[in-house]
Structure 1
Amino acid sequence: MDSPSERAIELRISNNKAYVWDVEDLALLRAKHHICGVLTGTLPHVSQQNVFLGMPLVLMPEEVVLLVENGLAVLVDDPTAHRKPSRSELEKWNTERRALVKTQLVKEGAKEGGGVSAPTGSRSMSEEAIRKRKAREEKRAAAKSPAEGGEDTPVFVPSTPAQAQATVPVAENSNLAHATYTITVPANSASELGWYSPEDYKYSTVKAAMQAGIWSYPSSAHERAKCKVFQDLWKKGHYMGGGIKFGGDYLVYPGDPLRYHSHFVASVIDSPAATISPMEIVAHGRLGTATKKAHLLCNWDEEKQTVSYYSVEWAGFG
């Protein structure tokens, strides 16, 4: 079996976007291949927020093209690779899960010394626990009973409205009170169940994926120029991220963005014959300097297959 560093990373394509679902692939992309992407999934315990996100990782189209052209990744037609299970397969899967839940409930009940009341995760309290609870209630009731009452039987005085509505005493062997516990049911992946077979839907070239209709980037001169500029900066050892918030195509980092600030905001120019207005140059220079970056104008020459770079910074006069 190939090690994670030797095998091609599977990029799951859906709606013309590339996703990475494997944490090991994410680490490999970032540590070895200088590809960051953007996390877009919610975390299990903090799903209602957008500050700390989790899997999957979404890649920029330029990152996808670079990885595939360099033989580091393959494209997978994810929707087609997923097979809809039959009714009998779903019933078998549900039966096995219910059996596993029941087995764990029996084990937990035996471990705690109580019986299993239902396959919902609840069990009857043990007799010892009921006795202790009853003793605590009687002690609290005796402490709250009026000193001049002189009754032989302690009086339970509810301290909250909820307690006032639930003054029925708990009998010695009552099953009204329950304790809950958590059981673990291992989740089987679609691959393990045979419902996901990506091997027949993998594409090792961008052209093959385009012919299959699952990928469409690059499809214009500007998109091809962006791919070439991105690849040239990547070969120079830089990390790249989206630069739309700073008025460019990419942010260019000298190292991992978790450790470094970006040094450049890069804008791609399609060809040496393309024009750029003086106002654009001024705007790029002012914005870049205001955010402590230099604006990088990246010119792709299709004929010479080379990239030229021009940096713009705002400077004081006099």
Structure 2
Amino acid sequence: MASDSNHEPKVPLRVSNLKAYVWDVEDVATLRAKHHICGVLAGTLPHLSQQNVFLGLPLVLLPEEVVLLMERQLAVLIDDRNAHTPPSAEALAHWNAVRESSARQQIVAAETERQSEKAARLSSSEDAIRKRQEREAKRAAAARAKALAEGLAVDEVLLPSPASAPVEDRPATPSKNLVHTFNVTIPASSSELVWYASATSTYYTLETAREAGVWTYPATPYERAKCRVYQDLWEKGNFMGGGIKFGGDFLVYPGDPLRYHSHFVATVVESPEATLMPMEIVAHGRLGTATKKSHLFCEWDEDKEQVTYFSVEWSGFG
């Protein structure tokens, strides 16, 4: 899957304590839709902070996902801790004043729109009352004309009762406790803050980030093997997620995990000489079959720079 990295903006990955986070919703959508990178949402939602089923920003990326994005020049690493420089008291006061002014302007605009809608409803109601009164007046005039034509006294004709005439709407007495609520949009992105110096803490390659101590993964042969296996599965068009709850390194999905169940649980074998215990094969085979998945042993050969896959399923005989 070739990437057009020279013509599209790079996704900022904000690194803190050697973990990469994505804080922008648009970046999360870009990673998922264009690059098959899912990550894991780790933040609580504003009004559902006491639950852990539906989560929100930030998105935490697997280290293998970060390495892939950096090697494909699809992202940049930002040292989030050093990018936040302490603001001066004047800058903080100005920022707070700008936020308050923006909120007031939005409230005024919303109140103006509400008053316009109220006036439009009132005008529509007045038009309906006027038309109803005109219809009643025409009926009364027709009744009088008919009475005169038949030689009857007007007071002997049953005219529309005044009670049936429309009653004008009385203005409701305003309640002392009535409070109008409005939705106010307040920017929450750190990159919009004037004292967020991301430009001086941005790294475009893994080597420069490693030299600065911002990013250290991969550091061992096993971690390098995981990165190469992840990349090989990704190039085949798969989506990957963490596989620890199924006893492996990755879960392998044929498409977006929101639409598909995973087909494989992948375990990385760092080299052709690595030891693989028979009991481990049996355990992975039985666990994969019990969860309706096949288990993949993914062997990385550093010399040949290729991945070999072995699929294991449990079969019963007799």
What TM-score range do you get, normalising by the shorter chain? 0.7 to 0.9
Deviates more, 1:301-310 or 1:92-101: 92-101
Residues 231-250 of structure 1: pairs in structure 2 closer than 5 A: 231-250=231-250
TM-score norm. by structure 1 comes to 0.74
Q: How far apart are the structure 1 equivalents of 2:220 and 2:234?
A: 21
The CA deviation at 1:244 is 0.5
Structure 1 partner of 2:178: 179
* Alpha-carbon distance change, 276 to 195 in structure 1, aligned in 2, over 3 angstroms: same
Question: Which SS does the other structure have where 2:35 is aligned?
Answer: coil
Seen in structure 2, the aligned counterparts of structure 1 residues 65 and 99 have a Cα distance that, compared at 3 Å, is: closer
Could you tell me which residue of structure 2 aligns to residue 75 of structure 1?
A: 77
CA distance in 1, matches of 2:234, 2:108: 57
Structure with more of its chain in helix, by fraction: 2
Q: Which string of whole-angstrom CA distances, capped at 9 and with x for unpartnered residues, describes residues 192-245 of structure 1?
A: 341212122111111111111111111111101100111011111111111101
Letter aligned with residue 313 of structure 1: E
For residues 276 and 106 of structure 2, the distance between their equivalents in structure 1, rounded to whole angstroms, comes to 69
Residue 56 of structure 1 aligns to a residue whose secondary structure is strand
SS at match of 2:28: helix
Alignment of 1:84-99 (within 5 A): 84-98=86-100
TM-superposed deviation, 1:290: 0.6
Taking a change above 3 Å as real, the CA distance of residues 101 and 283 of structure 1, as seen in their structure-2 partners, is: closer
Quickly say closer, same or farther: Cα 1:314–1:185, change in 2 above 3 A: closer
- What amino acid does structure 2 have at the position aligned with 1:299? E
SS of residue matched to 2:49:
coil
1:131-152 per-residue CA deviation (whole Å, 9 max, x = no partner) reads x76xxxxxxxxxxxxxxxxxxx
In our comparison, the structure showing a higher alpha carbon Rg is 2
Are the counterparts in 2 of residues 40 and 58 from structure 1 also a CA contact under 8 Å?
yes
What residue identity is the alignment partner of 1:24?
E
2:57 aligns with 55
Match of 2:17 in 1: 15
Aligned length: 260
Q: Distance in 1 between matches of 2:236 and 2:106?
A: 55
Deviation at 1:101, TM superposition (A): 5.8
What pairs with 1:168-247 in structure 2 (closer than 5 Å)?
177-183=176-182, 185-188=184-187, 189-247=189-247
Percent of residue pairs identical: 63
Structure 1 105/264 Cα, relative in aligned 2: closer, same or farther at 3 Å?
closer
Is 1:257 matched up with 2:253? no
Question: What secondary structure is seen at the aligned counterpart in 2 of 1:71?
Answer: coil
SS of alignment partner, residue 178 of structure 1: coil
CA-CA distance at 1:81 after TM superposition = 1.2
Distance in 2 (alpha carbons) for counterparts of 1:237 and 1:202:
29
Q: Alignment partner of 1:208: what SS?
A: helix
- Unpaired segments of 5 or more residues in structure 2? 116-170
Residues in 2 aligned to 1:3 and 1:250: alpha-carbon distance in whole angstroms: 26
* Counterpart secondary structure, 2:258: coil
- Structure 1 residues 90, 245: CA separation in 2 closer, same or farther (over 3 Å shift)? same
| Distance 1:289-1:184 versus aligned 2 partners, 3 A rule | closer
Deviations along 1:16-35, one digit per CA (max 9) or x if unpaired, are 11111121211111111111
Which residue of structure 1 lines up, in the alignment, with residue 283 of structure 2? 283
Q: Any idea what the Cα deviations from partners look like across 1:50-93, whole Å, max 9, x if unmatched?
A: 11111111100000001100111111111111221111112223
Hey, what does 1:298 align to over in structure 2?
A: 298
CA distance in structure 1 between the partners assigned to 2:106 and 2:53 by the alignment: 37
8 Å contact from structure 1 (residues 4, 25) kept in 2: no
8 Å CA contact retained: 2:240, 2:253: yes
* Alignment TM-score, normalising by the size of structure 2: 0.74
Cα deviation for residue 178 of structure 1 reads: 3.5
